[in-house]
Amino acid sequence: MAEPRSSSEPDRSPPRVGPPPWYWSYTLFGASASGLSPILLPVLVAAGDGAGQVGLVMAALNVGVLSAPLWGMLADRHRGHRPIFFLGLLLVALSLAGFTLSGRLGYRLALALIQGLGIGGVSTMASLFVVEFEPRQEWTRLISRLQTLNGIGQAAGTLLAGLFSRGGTYAAGLWVAALLLVPALWAGRRGLPAASERRLLPRSARQAIGTLVRMAERLSGAVFYAIQRPSLEYLFNLVSAAAAPFGRFLSSWLLFSIGSSAFFTFYPLLLVNSYGIPLWAASVLLAALTAARLPLFAPSAALCRRHGSRAVFRAFLLIRGLCFLGLFILVYFRGAAAAALTITLLSVMTVAWPLGSVSATELSAALAVSSEGEAMGLFTAASAAASLAGALVGGGLAALLGYGSIVALAAACCAGALALARWQAPGPAHS
């Protein structure tokens, strides 16, 4: 095992050619967890139980993803990055296969929770392998490359989901999603950085970070402790954390993600019921758009370097909000022209995703008040909390007012997120 290298020593290792092998593991993970599962799982549940049950199952999945801060904390404390990554892949594979064996709600809720635990672990570790083991000046480039390969997997998985949807073989599609993670486990064994190779900071910096980590641990436990024993001190700590730049950014991301998660949780059902687009066509469309946005991760990273991550993030929120507003209006129209406009708006909002993904990931690390591990964990957890809220609220709205109300929710959340993002105090381009 290689000895730790001081940050003051020059890096004499040969330049890396192509992505590390473990990046392809994350590609297969994207095909399974971000491509096949989000299309087939809601349809499989809705086929027998309706929109309300879909919301509960997807909410349980996102409760599991809320474990992301715990995974980040465990990785930082015990240097368990690799075991957590492999365990997450295994949990997702087992849960996807299990969904095909029974239709009981309690059983499916438990499996969804397990799948969420796995997704939280894999997603958090993938980001940590970049921000904790690579130089800061390389973060943007490596994050964009990682997300590009994950997007390739998502596009391929979504296309496969369209094929399974056309034949109505949803269970077979979930089995394929589970089996894809077997080669992902093999690919993940090659090239993952070991904990001892982590770049070291000066002792004074490590002591300062350790102090901040302990403070963050107390703050992160404030919500759960306050439920059991309310006190003004803990409420004050929560308000202080929310007022910090990282807290304001996370609030903006949380609100945006609630609306977007509600829309994409019910995406296959929404397009069928509100826009008259067949399920297989909706899957193929999403696959094509996911593939079309792949070349834009690197330009998005360049825009962040040139104009600052804050400005790029705000521009992304504006684009998404206008697209959701247009889609809400189109809920009440039919015909060839309405269908063309629907596809156009879906294309713009999907292709624009790299702007938000790259800028938000970089902001979460740059604004962190403690270690990058906990910051990435909180960022992933905020996305999961938003997905949880989006699934529950979206399911309730769809049951009461129809699927079109989900689009109105998404537009309103984008508007609120943009207002919060503009309220952030100005700062350096990448802070």
For residue 384, is pLDDT > 50? yes
Residue 2 has pLDDT above 60, yes or no: no
Is the pLDDT score of 220 beyond 50? Answer: no
Burial bucket for residue 312 (CB in 10 Å: 0-12, 13-18, 19+): buried
Q: Is the C-alpha dihedral spanning 421, 423, 425, 427 positive or negative?
A: positive
Task: List pLDDT tens digits, range 19-52.
Answer: 677 788 888 998 998 888 888 888 888 776 666 7
Give the chain's mean pLDDT.
Answer: 76
pLDDT given at position 342: 92
Q: 168 falls in which pLDDT band (50, 70, 90)? A: confident
Angstrom distance (rounded) from CA 61 to CA 100: 16
Burial call 384-408: b when 16+ CB within 10 Å, e when fewer:
bbbbbbbbbbbbebbbeeebbbbbb
Q: What is the pLDDT of residue 1?
A: 34
pLDDT at 119 > cutoff 80: yes
The DSSP secondary-structure symbol of 6 reads B
Domains of the chain: 22-189+245-423 (1.20.1250.20)
Q: Which residues contact 9 (CB under 8 A, 6 or more apart)?
A: none
From the CB of residue 47, how many other CB atoms can be counted at a distance below 10 Å? Answer: 12
**How many other CB atoms are found less than 10 A from the CB of residue 126?**
25
Q: Residue 373: pLDDT band by 50, 70, 90 thresholds?
A: low
- Per-residue pLDDT tens for 180-214? 988 888 877 766 666 543 443 444 444 443 444 34
Q: Coil, strand or helix: which one is 32?
A: helix
Q: Point out the least confidently predicted range of 126-135, 151-160, 250-259, 322-331.
A: 126-135
Spell 219-256 as b/e; 16+ CB within 10 A means b.
Answer: bbebeeeeeeeeeeebeebeeebeeebbbbbbbbbbbb
The predicted model gives 58-77 an average pLDDT of 77
Query: What span, in angstroms and rounded, lies between the C-alpha atoms of 138 and 361?
Result: 13
**Of 422 and 402, the one with more pLDDT:** 402
Most confident of 57-66, 111-120, 136-145, 368-377: 111-120
pLDDT tens digit sequence for 398-417? 888 888 899 999 999 999 99
Average pLDDT estimate for 131-155: 75
Per-residue model confidence (pLDDT) at position 260:
92
pLDDT attached to residue 200: 37
The pTM of this model reads 0.66
Question: What is the band of 428 on the pLDDT scale with cuts at 50, 70, 90?
Answer: very low
Say if residues 34 and 157 touch (Cβ distance below 8 Å).
yes
Burial bucket for residue 429 (CB in 10 Å: 0-12, 13-18, 19+): middle
Q: Is the pLDDT of residue 420 over 70?
A: yes
Per-residue pLDDT band at 242 (split at 50, 70, 90): low
Q: Which residues of 214-290 form beta strands (DSSP E)? A: none
How many residues in total does the chain contain? 431
Residue 237 has pLDDT above 50, yes or no: no
In terms of DSSP H, where are the helices of 30-104? 37-49, 51-65, 68-78, 81-98
- Label residue 211 exposed, middle or buried (CB < 10 Å: 0-12, 13-18, 19+): exposed
What are the C-alpha distances in Å from 419 to residues 255, 414, 424?
10, 9, 9
